[in-house]
Structure 1
């Protein structure tokens, strides 16, 4: 078990089923903000539970389809007992999809007999696990216990908080995190009397003020004016506006936010060999909010409008902080916490990486698909292995409806650039948006066999309706109705419909006008499945005067191109208009008539080598990777 000798002022707690391969970014920030004045420790109890039940089983639970709430259901039994429906019924209706709302997407595995028994054993182990966690915290005797609560660690955190309040009645129990935003946080405290206060938004400065006040022995009744914090006494007031409180927590100058402290997690990693199978990662931060979302929000974006405001650290701070994290945690890979990184932050990141003798592995960075290709390649040689990108669709019509601000050819270009740079793009293919045209899905189904050499989506399925999204906040405007929490919430929380509605992050809905999504996306789904199967063997690349086509995954076609057609193909390496192609050919010292160029274009389109969308053209052929560039190039 994770042990600790000595007393502390503040215990920061990270519960299952947060990933055991990374520390909590939020708790790392909170520890750093108060460690100079107070004794504080992060307790990564999620790591212990992963060790207890086995890393593979833990991962399977932690990465299960998120709307099923599997991690929360396993701890709900010890928290609420017989107030919630039996586990067997939950498995049947939710995990195995016998409720329509939880029907399995094509890539979701069902619960077989062996996995069912494993889940039962995990559920039985939660009681003893919580008792041991409680004993450790009681021994440390903190004045404040703070939980970070993300989507799949709500009930485990509540169950431990309830026990701690019994053994340490004097301790101040506080919650923060994604599960506590706005009305969710208020409802959380209303129905769990062992919680003393909740942070409804960003908690960097607010938490430090709370700790200072409480360690001066002020009581809960006299605490006030802490931005974004709501206390039990506030629940009696009708004047409390959770959204206003949420907005008061925003850190507008990120240069004043400290560098996170991950020392407690690093010590665990050094001690526990089971964590060494895969390289762990630590978070760094360059910005908060979304620079695109400030202009136009994606209709399914679940980030609240209060926290959407884009804020960024200056270049010097990004460089110095990244160097510090790399030097302090050399055994770890890096993961960016940013929702959306702009060009300035990427330039600062490249500058920081270029000066490091040991290039750290960057396993996660989120960007928009219109990122500059040269910058993409620089990031690759500086250690970047994968990017998360908001592609969502390959149809320009659908992308326009959902507010992405890019078109289909730009998304395909990004996938192509990633292949050439040796970067794995992590992306989702979403459908089922209100008012989307059925014809777009037939077109995309026909397109996919031409793209099998590019990285397929990691998830493909209906878009999820999240709290705070424009679709949730303005359903009529976006063509949806009858919004309800997923049925899985009824199997986790024993409260009435209104309360559960306020607890929920994920919702089901109906369309105002009928849309038979299953039917018009069926061929697309089948082709995506084929794409995933064939991708490891698929390729489309140049070889002298040939194009080698292995997109079927079975046969290899050698397509010989005449000099003009080869030049037209290479001139279209990124989206171009018909008017731009002659200029690019001229740069290659080739001058041909428009008719000759159009003949070459027709030939390339015939063989599925060139795409045309309106007046734009894009070659799908990838360049062979040449000599490696450097970060400084």
Structure 2
């Protein structure tokens, strides 16, 4: 079958879809009919700018807000929901009024609400135009990728295709079609001919060789209609080596034809993949995380392929910013050392575990990693234990210090309201924040969600959780009568089970609000906050200009100098005190007192037997020079 793969809104404008580009690349490796890729989200960008008659740069910001910040409210899906079966049975004016009220209740800015409502008006004509163009292409099968807010846009385009060409095959895949959600999509929307549960390489290879739907019956992961029900072939875990280097030619061709492509092109980051699954999740899945669905088993390409992959992508497309879609950086054989030694001007992004030490973070920066998403989630060791993060507050703070020192942008989130959270967990973070305003603040502060596939969802009783059905947004997204929203939903309303309520819930709510407010102040103060030090031959100068808590300029000599140095990037207190006492003849009691003084003024963070200097080294070298020094360091891991 001739196959067209479609990436609908709301994929990031600045990243070509790795899902369809990887599958499209199979056509150069396997025998079968051709595969083409359509970047529908770029088409939507062009169409919406014209419909709204607005400045393209202004709409790019609106697009990003809808696709990224408002995903949790279902905005991107709702905009395209008017054309779905069942949605038209209700009065559109009432549906629009109800959803607008819902967004305002959630604190969405009135200008954004107005844009959302107008985009709902624009969607049907766009969908019709795109469907006609796809049908005219003559393809026999149309496959849609559906991650995040792409499900309803895919369904809207799919039903428009079927209205024009009932004989064409419509197939959906991606995260929104993982088990059991894919089968729920087929039950709710009869115009969908098939879904792919799990990874798509085997399904796409089979599609390009198939002569009819009957040839797909035994392909792993494909769910087909059969008589009055569904016929399912269970998905298999595939080796990640089977995934080719993505082909982004179609994205760049469309970008070149876009009237405002110059707004997007300088910021494009090329996605790549070195692994699938999560090695930490295999060992001990984070309680709130449902990210990998049925694909938790960790598989990684040999690290030697990293340099080759990035060279192939950057040389082919002339873009030097890259973006790893891996859930987690490989522990060993991740290819970073070779990438650092390659001395190419490629920048990249990885999701990482936050307990990386100085050597590992130095290697990240030396390899061109300029942005990371660390799984920090909290600055309370007690809360981190509840979340099964496998790290402590000490690890997370050390990571933030290292990122600040090396110029790595750390994008992280702060979670609260997890089961069994205590007041002390919140209070210790409230006490800590004034001392770390020089470090990167969290992007968001939010309550823990219950997502499908997470331990909270799979074993709610274990955590005292009562599941109360799909989040409210699904009432607006899937409006049809008889639709099983519970089976379609990814995120769920929840509360504490009967008998688990706390007497101090009001006090806990007040603490969480204070934490949110304090993080807001952290964000405001971050740009002006400075806490750094410089080493001399036998002296250390500390510059502490953190708002409200700073101590100014301090010169450390002798035992104080050596003690401070021993806790830079972390050290064991007893070893540091013993070594400095032996070298200088200073009583250990005096050194312990000094550490306590430093902890009281937020110079040092103490946890158990370890201490960590919270100041950032200003060695007057460039970031790569400092990274190279750290790669050879012997600081505690």
Same-fold status (TM-score > 0.5) = yes
Give 1:561's match in structure 2, choosing from 547, 550, 556.
Answer: 556
The residue aligned with 1:155 is 152
- 1:395 is aligned to 2:404: no
CA contact under 8 A between 1:280 and 1:333: conserved in structure 2? Answer: yes
Match in the other structure for 2:445? 460
Contact 2:194 2:225 in 1 (8 A): yes
Which digits, 9 at most, give the CA deviation of each residue in 1:403-446, with x for residues without a partner?
00011111000000001111010100000100112211011101
Q: What SS does structure 2 have at the residue aligned with 1:250?
A: coil
CA RMSD of aligned residues (A): 2.3
- 1:168-247 alignment runs, 5 A limit: 168-213=165-210, 217-218=211-212, 220-221=213-214, 223-233=216-226, 236=229, 245=234
Give the match's secondary structure for 1:283. Answer: strand
Deviation at 1:196, TM superposition (A): 0.9
TM-score by length of 1: 0.90
Measured after TM superposition, the shift of residue 491 of structure 1 is 0.9
Q: Is the 8 A contact 1:144 1:211 kept in 2?
A: no
Provide the residue aligned with 2:96 in structure 1. Answer: 87
Aligned to 1:602: 596
Q: Work out whether residues 368 and 389 of structure 1, in 8 Å CA contact, stay in contact via their aligned partners in 2.
A: yes
Measure the CA separation in 1 of the matches of 2:244 and 2:423.
49
Q: Distance in 1 between matches of 2:521 and 2:135?
A: 54
Deviations 1:212-245 (A, max 9, x none): 11xxx22x245311001110117626xx6x7x82
Distance 1:164 1:432 in 2: 44
| Residue 619 (str. 1) matches residue 613 (str. 2) | yes
Residue 485 (1) aligns with residue 482 (2): no
Structure 2 residue 590 is the aligned partner of structure 1 residue 582: no
Change (3 A) 1:333 1:120: same
Question: Moved runs in structure 1, 4+ residues, more than 6 A?
Answer: 553-556, 630-633
Match of 1:68 among 60, 69, 73: 73
CA contact 1:545–1:563 (8 Å) conserved in 2: no
Contact 1:442 1:523 in 2 (8 A): no
Larger deviation: 333-342 or 51-60?
51-60
Asked if 2 retains the 8 angstrom alpha-carbon contact of 1:420 and 1:623, the reply is: yes
Q: Which residue of 415, 425, 429 maps to 1:444? A: 429
Deviation at 1:575, TM superposition (A): 3.2
- What is the match of residue 351 of structure 1? 338
Q: 1: distance between equivalents of 2:214 and 2:89?
A: 34
More off after superposition, 39-48 vs 84-93: 84-93
Is 1:12–1:147's contact at 8 Å kept on the other side of the alignment? yes
SS at the partner of 1:154? Answer: helix
Query: 1:626 Cα deviation (Å)?
Result: 4.2
Map 1:54-65 onto structure 2 (within 5 A). Answer: 54-65=59-70
2:522 is aligned with 1:531: yes
Residue 349 of structure 1, CA deviation: 3.1
Give the TM-score normalised by structure 2. 0.89
User: Partner of 1:540 in structure 2?
Assistant: 531
**Aligned pair partner of 2:118 in 93, 97, 121:** 121
Taking structure 1 as reference, are residues 30 and 591 closer, same or farther at Cα in structure 2, changes over 3 Å only?
farther
Q: In structure 2, what is the Cα distance between the partners aligned to 1:332 and 1:44?
A: 21
* Cα distance, 1:379 vs structure 2: 2.5
Residue 399 of structure 2 is aligned to residue 414 of structure 1:
yes
Tell me if structure 2 keeps the 8 A contact 1:72–1:152.
yes
Deviations 1:24-81 (A, max 9, x none): 1111111011245432211101012112323222222212332210011111112222
Q: What is the CA deviation profile of residues 517-558 of structure 1, one whole-angstrom value per residue up to 9, with x for unaligned ones?
A: 422312212211111110011111114643211111797722
CA–CA separation in structure 2 for the residues paired with 1:128 and 1:87: 17
Partner residue of 1:5?
none
Contact 2:415 2:446 (C-alpha < 8 Å) held by counterparts? yes
Distance in 2 (alpha carbons) for counterparts of 1:419 and 1:545: 19
2:35 to 36, 40, 57: 40
1:521 aligned to 2:508?
no
Structure 2 unaligned residues grouped into runs of 5+: 49-58, 633-637
Which residue does the alignment assign to 2:56? none
Deviations 1:275-322 (A, max 9, x none): 333411111111111111111110001135631111011133333222
1:324-343 equivalent positions in 2, closer than 5 A: 324-343=312-331
* Cα offsets for 1:315-361 (capped at 9, x unmatched): 33333222212221222510001000123243x133135325x4112
Question: Aligned partners of 2:549 and 2:606: how far apart in 1?
Answer: 26
CA contact (8 A) 1:582 1:592 kept: no
Partner SS state of residue 41, structure 1:
strand
Contact kept, 8 Å, 2:35 with 2:208, in 1: the verdict is no
Q: Does residue 275 of structure 2 align to residue 269 of structure 1?
A: no
**Aligned partners of 1:624 and 1:284: how far apart in 2?**
33
Confirm or deny: 8 A CA contact 1:565 1:604 kept in the other structure: no
C-alpha distance in structure 1 between counterparts of 2:585 and 2:310, whole Å? 49
Alpha-carbon distance change, 35 to 553 in structure 1, aligned in 2, over 3 angstroms? farther
Does residue 249 of structure 1 match 2:258? no
Q: How many residues end up aligned between the 2 structures? A: 599
Shift of 1:454: 0.5
Distance in 2 of aligned mates of 1:564 and 1:191 = 71
Shift in alpha-carbon separation, 1:619–1:556, aligned structure 2, 3 A: closer
Residue in structure 1 matched with residue 566 of structure 2 by the alignment: 571
TM-superposition CA deviations, 1:456-508 (whole Å, max 9, x none): 00011101211110000100001100331111110111246870011111111
Aligned equivalent of 1:423: 408
The secondary structure found in structure 2 opposite 1:300 is coil
SS in 2 for 1:314: coil
Q: Which residue of 2 aligns with 1:16?
A: 9
Name the SS of the counterpart of 2:190 in structure 1: coil
Q: Quick one: distance in 1 between partners of 2:112 and 2:406?
A: 39
1:151-185 Cα shifts (integer Å, max 9, x gaps): 21111111110111122222111000111010110
| Counterpart selection for 1:284 from 250, 267, 272 | 272
**Does the CA contact (< 8 Å) of 1:323 and 1:352 recur in 2?**
no
- Matches of 1:125 and 1:545 in 2, distance apart? 62
* SS of match in other structure, 2:326: coil
Cα deviation 1:117-157 (Å, max 9, x = unaligned): 32232111112111210121122110110000112111111
- The separation in 2 between residues aligned to 1:76 and 1:360, in whole angstroms, is 40
- Counterparts of 2:564 and 2:47 in 1: how far apart (Å)? 56
Alignment partner, residue 104 of structure 2: 96
